[in-house]
């Protein structure tokens, strides 16, 4: 076997020197404040049972082949599930991808064309930025939630070309590291004013916002004014897969020109059926959504009462980030939490900028108010003892 490549060894050494070397997390029996399984659907016996019964009844297990959706993988179940998702999200169409990175890389590598301009929030997650790098369009980031900076970039004459230029504005409805939300009404106004195409990633809003967990865009009634929405299912639905929501024309284009859609083998019938029944459970499960919402309110009330508000990024979502500068310090506090029985993860630089290292608290419907209160009391103790 050849030795490890010398050209990449310095990066590994630098990560180790910065005390930021990551190791794969092992399963544990700690109280969960780390996973993105906001509603506990990955553990749902109802979803598992309904999926199994459906597959056996319809003989998918013995008859279905796996392959590209252009070949043997495009089961009728795909179309039924995509139609249900589109109806649920009040949009024309939905197109299922194998994962969130597949959806984002596929969309941005295929849809924006050479000569177009992509303007994206600087805190958009890595999968979006990786997808944008695959595009032939010009790209530029704007300061986080700074719409004056966004308009300055739109009007910058350097971004104009002789041919008509399509401008895509890209943001998240819930930012994956900070947990905050943009002013989408203002973004829609700017998009309309400058004839831009607004793309919103709803990966951390699905299951969290809206009366049925339908997401932030629908909760405020803007679904008809957004060019495309990108959803991943592993968070709010607790299962594999993702979808792009939009017009019939957009879906047709993605099917024909998106490599991450038409080259890989499609999801198995089991995975697609799990998405379908997770959505049906979301539509009917008011209890878990209400419990999650109560826990978010309780967390914010407790952190205010304990004088921790200034430590946290403002968030009304299930993601709460406490900024604790320094990889060594934030790792130490995460370890102290784990010793007390709580699974809370430290987010280190360079994953986030230096000085913005943090503890990332993920709230769930199955966390108890007592657990939330204890976690915040411990945080106060670890910081100020």
pLDDT above 80: residue 349? yes
pLDDT-derived band at 141 (thresholds 50, 70, 90) equals very high
Q: Give alpha helix (H) positions in the chain.
A: 9-17, 45-57, 60-63, 76-88, 100-110, 126-133, 147-154, 184-194, 216-219, 248-257, 259-262, 269-284, 286-305, 327-339, 369-384
pLDDT-derived band at 319 (thresholds 50, 70, 90) equals very high
Q: How far is CA 264 from CA 103, 310, 315, in A?
A: 12, 46, 37
The closest of 309, 286, 300, 313 to 369, measured between CA atoms, is 300
pLDDT above 80: residue 311? yes
Sign of CA dihedral 39, 41, 44, 50: positive
Say if residue 350 is preceded by a cis peptide, omega within 30 of 0: yes
Contacts of 325 by beta carbon, 8 Å cutoff, 6+ apart: 355, 356, 357
- Looking at residue 59, its pLDDT comes to 75
DSSP 25: P
pLDDT above 70: residue 65? no
Place of tokens 């890595």: 126
Domains and CATH numbers, the chain: 29-43+286-384 (3.90.1150.10), 64-284 (3.40.640.10)
| 151-177 tens-digit pLDDT | 999 988 776 654 558 999 999 999 999
Chain centroid to Cα 312, Å, comes to: 20
Place of tokens 């177009």: 116
pLDDT above 70: residue 34? yes
Place of tokens 């700017």: 190
In the chain, what are the helix, strand and coil shares in percent, each to the nearest 5? 45, 15, 40
Q: Is residue 310 classed as helix, strand or coil in its secondary structure?
A: helix
* Mean pLDDT of the residues in the chain: 90
Q: What are phi and psi of 220, to 5 degrees?
A: -105, 10
- C-alpha 321/C-alpha 180 separation (Å) is 9
Average pLDDT over residues 122-150: 95
- C-alpha 152/C-alpha 236 separation (Å) is 35
User: Cα–Cα–Cα angle for 247, 252, 255, nearest 5°?
Assistant: 125
Average pLDDT over residues 187-195: 96
CA-based Rg of the chain, rounded to a whole angstrom?
Answer: 22
- C-alpha 163/C-alpha 188 separation (Å) is 24
Residue 368, both tokens: 């108890």
pLDDT above 80: residue 271? yes
* Residue 128 · residue 111 · CB < 8 Å: no
| 234-268 tens-digit pLDDT | 999 999 999 999 999 999 999 999 999 988 888 98
Q: What are phi and psi of 288, to 5 degrees?
A: -70, -40
- Looking at residue 352, its pLDDT comes to 92
pTM reported for the whole predicted model: 0.90
Q: Is residue 212 classed as helix, strand or coil in its secondary structure?
A: coil
Place of tokens 């199994």: 52
């Amino acid at each position: 076997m050849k030795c490890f490549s010398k050209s990449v060894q310095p990066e590994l050494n630098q990560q180790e020197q910065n005390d930021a070397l990551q190791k794969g997390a092992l399963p544990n029996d700690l109280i969960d404040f780390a996973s993105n399984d906001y509603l506990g659907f990955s553990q749902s016996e109802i979803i598992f049972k309904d999926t199994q019964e459906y597959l056996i009844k319809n003989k998918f297990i013995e008859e279905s082949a796996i392959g590209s959706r252009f070949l043997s993988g495009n089961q009728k179940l795909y179309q039924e599930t995509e139609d249900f998702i589109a109806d649920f999200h009040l949009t024309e169409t939905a197109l299922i991808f194998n994962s969130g990175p597949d959806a984002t890389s596929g969309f941005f590598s295929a849809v924006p064309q050479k000569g177009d301009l992509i303007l994206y929030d600087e805190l958009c997650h890595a999968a979006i930025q990786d997808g944008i790098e695959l595009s032939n369009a010009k790209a530029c980031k704007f300061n986080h939630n700074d719409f004056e900076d966004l308009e300055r970039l739109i009007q910058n004459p350097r971004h104009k070309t002789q041919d008509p230029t399509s401008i895509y504005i890209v943001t998240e409805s819930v930012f994956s590291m900070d947990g905050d939300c943009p002013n989408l009404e203002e973004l829609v106004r700017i998009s309309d004013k400058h004839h831009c195409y607004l793309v919103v990633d709803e990966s951390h809003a699905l299951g969290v916002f809206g009366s049925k967990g339908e997401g932030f865009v629908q909760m405020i009634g803007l679904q008809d004014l957004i060019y495309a929405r990108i959803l991943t299912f592993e968070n709010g639905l607790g299962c594999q897969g993702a979808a792009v929501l939009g017009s019939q024309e957009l879906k047709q284009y993605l099917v024909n020109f998106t490599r991450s859609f038409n080259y890989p083998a499609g999801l198995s019938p089991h995975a697609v059926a799990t998405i379908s029944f997770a959505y049906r459970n979301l539509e009917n499960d008011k209890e878990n959504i209400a419990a999650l919402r109560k826990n978010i309110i309780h967390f914010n009330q407790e952190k205010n009462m304990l004088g921790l508000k200034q430590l946290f990024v403002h968030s009304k979502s299930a993601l709460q980030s406490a900024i604790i500068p320094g990889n060594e310090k934030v790792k130490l506090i995460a370890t102290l939490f784990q010793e007390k029985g709580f699974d809370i993860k430290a987010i280190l630089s360079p994953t986030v900028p230096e000085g913005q290292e943090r503890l990332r608290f993920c709230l769930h419907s199955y966390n108890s108010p007592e657990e939330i209160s204890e976690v915040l009391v411990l945080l106060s103790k670890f910081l100020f003892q």
